[in-house]
Amino acid sequence: MKNTVLSKLRNLDAYPKVNEDFFTRSLSGGIITLVSSLAILLLVFSEFRLYLHTVTETKLLVDTSRGETFRINFDVTFPAIPCSILSVDAMDISGEQHLDIKHDIIKKRINTNGDVIESKPDGIGAPKIEKPLQRHGGRLEQNETYCGSCFGAEQSDDDCCNSCEEVRDAYRRKGWAMTNADLIDQCKREGFFERIKEQEGEGCNVHGSLEVNRVAGNFHFAPGKTFHQSNIFFDDLMSVHKDSYNISHRINRLAFGEYFPGVVNPLDGGHWTHETSNGMYQYFIKVVPTIYTDIRGRTVKSNQYSVTEHFKDLEYISPNSQPGVFFYYDFSPIKVTFKEEHSSFLHFITNICAVIGGIFTVAGIIDTFVYHGQRRMKKKMEIGKFR
C-alpha cells in the first residue's frame, strides 16, 4: 500500500530528472546562462527598490467637516510702505472681524536695499508717563491714577485711553477718522507721529500667522488702521499721510495650513511691482482641504489652493476704496486625501517569481534555437567536406 502511494506521487512529478550522462553542455549555453543570471539579478534588485518605495494613493471626497478653524501662514514684504502705518486685518462672511491684528505677527523694518533695520512684534508700546493729560482735563498728579481722555470717543463714563493705540481703537469703534491727530496728547507723548516721519522711505516685512474660521473670508495688508462703516473702508491716518501709497509687494510665503510632502503653494516667491501709486491688488484664492497620511500613519490636515489675481487703480473706482493687498479665500466642497503605502509583500513575491520564471523560460528558448542552429551548421559543414 505504501509503495503504491509513493509510486503515484512519483508519477505526479512535473520536473522529471535526466541522467547527467545524457547532458550536453555548450559554450553558447554558458554565455546565455551568465547573461540571464545578470538580468535576473538586475530585475530582482529593481523590484526590491520598487517594493521599498512608497506609493501615494489619491482620493477625492466630499468635505463634510464643519465648525473648524485653520491657520494662515504668511511672509510678505512691502518695499515702499513703512511698518508704522502698515496694518493686518481679517474678516469672514460670518461677520467676525479682526482689525489691526498684532498677535503672532512680526514686523521688520527694511531699508531701500532690503536690509533689516529692526525686527520686533507688532505694537506701538507703552506710553511714557510724564505728566500726561487726564480725562478731566488736568495733568497727572503724584497720587492720582492715570486715566487718559479718549477725546470724545468714550463709550461709557468709565472708559480710559492711556495710549495712542487705545485712542485710535476708540476712534475706530466710533467710526471716526483721526483728523485731529496733532491734538492727541497720548500720540504726542509716545512720539507716534515722529516715528511715522522717521520711517518714511522705508519698507516693511510682515510675517506671522492668523487663526480664522473655516468659512469664506479675506485678510488684507493696508496702510493705516482701518475701520469698517457701511461696507466702506476708511483710513484713520489720512490726516497724517495724505500722499499715495505704493503697494508693490513680494510674497515670500503664503500657506493655508501645515506643510506636507509634495505641497505646492503657487504664490510663494511671487512679486508684483506697481510703478504708480494708489491701487488695490486682489488675490482670489480657492482653498482645497487636504489630508496627508504618511507611511507611518501620521496624519496632517492642511490645504492646497489655486489663485487668480486682479489690480484696481483707485483713480477709476470709488474714492472711499482703500489701497492695499487683499486676499479673498473660499473653500472647495471637495476634499483631497493622500495616503502613502507600500505595495504588498505578496505582490513583490509574485513579481520576483514572474521575473525569474520568465527570464529562465526565454533563456531556455534562446538556448534551444542557438544549440540546434549550431548543430545544423556543423552538419552542413561536414557534408560539404565529404563532397
Q: What is the pLDDT of residue 141?
A: 65
Q: CB count, 10 Å around CB of 357?
A: 11
What pLDDT shows up at residue 155?
A: 79
In this structure, are 114 and 242 located in the same domain? yes
What is the distance between the alpha carbons of residues 44 and 1, in angstroms, rounded to a whole number?
A: 45
Is residue 153 included in any domain, yes or no?
no
Domain presence at residue 192: no
* Helices 27-52, 345-386: crossing angle, 10 deg rounding: 160
Structural domain for 30, as ranges: 21-54+343-383
Measure the CA–CA gap between 375 and 268, rounded to whole angstroms: 71
Residues 353 and 293 in one domain: no
Domain match, 280 and 368 both: no
Tell me if 233 is assigned to some domain: yes
**Would you state the pLDDT for residue 9?**
72
Tell me, yes or no, whether 45 and 102 share the same domain: no
CA distance 15 to 350: 21
Residues 238 and 117 in one domain: yes
Q: Are strands 279-293 and 299-313 parallel, antiparallel or unpaired?
A: antiparallel
Q: What is the pLDDT of residue 242?
A: 42
pLDDT (0 to 100) of residue 226: 53
Same domain, 327 and 234: yes
Residue 2 belongs to a domain: no
Residues 50 and 113 in one domain: no
Q: Identify which of 272, 253, 165, 243 has the alpha carbon closest to the alpha carbon of residue 206.
A: 253
**CB neighbours (10 Å) of residue 160?**
16
122 and 215 both lie in a single domain: yes
C-beta pairs of 315-318 under 8 Å, 24+ apart in sequence: 315/278, 317/280, 318/232
In a domain, 150, yes or no: no
Is 97 a domain residue? yes
pLDDT of residue 229: 43
Cα distance between residue 322 and residue 301, in whole Å: 35
Q: What is the pLDDT along the chain (387 residues), one digit of tens a residue?
A: 667 777 777 776 666 666 666 667 777 778 888 888 899 899 999 888 888 878 788 899 998 887 788 899 999 999 988 887 888 989 998 888 887 788 889 999 898 887 887 776 755 444 444 566 666 656 766 667 788 888 778 878 778 888 777 887 788 777 776 666 667 777 777 776 667 777 777 889 999 999 988 999 999 998 865 544 444 444 555 444 445 678 889 999 999 999 998 888 999 998 888 766 677 899 999 999 999 998 888 999 999 999 999 988 766 655 556 788 999 999 999 999 999 887 778 888 898 899 888 888 888 888 888 877 877 887 777 776 655
80 and 43 in one domain?
no
Is 72 inside any structural domain? yes
Indicate if 252 and 121 belong to the same structural domain. yes
* Number of compact structural domains in the chain: 2
Question: Could you tell me what percentage of the chain is helix, strand and coil, using 3-state DSSP and rounding each to the nearest 5?
Answer: 30, 30, 40
| 351 and 220, same domain (yes or no) | no
- Mark whether 124 and 223 lie in a shared domain: yes
Please check whether residue 328 lies inside any domain of the structure: yes
| Short-list 95, 329, 305, 105, CA closest to 218 | 329
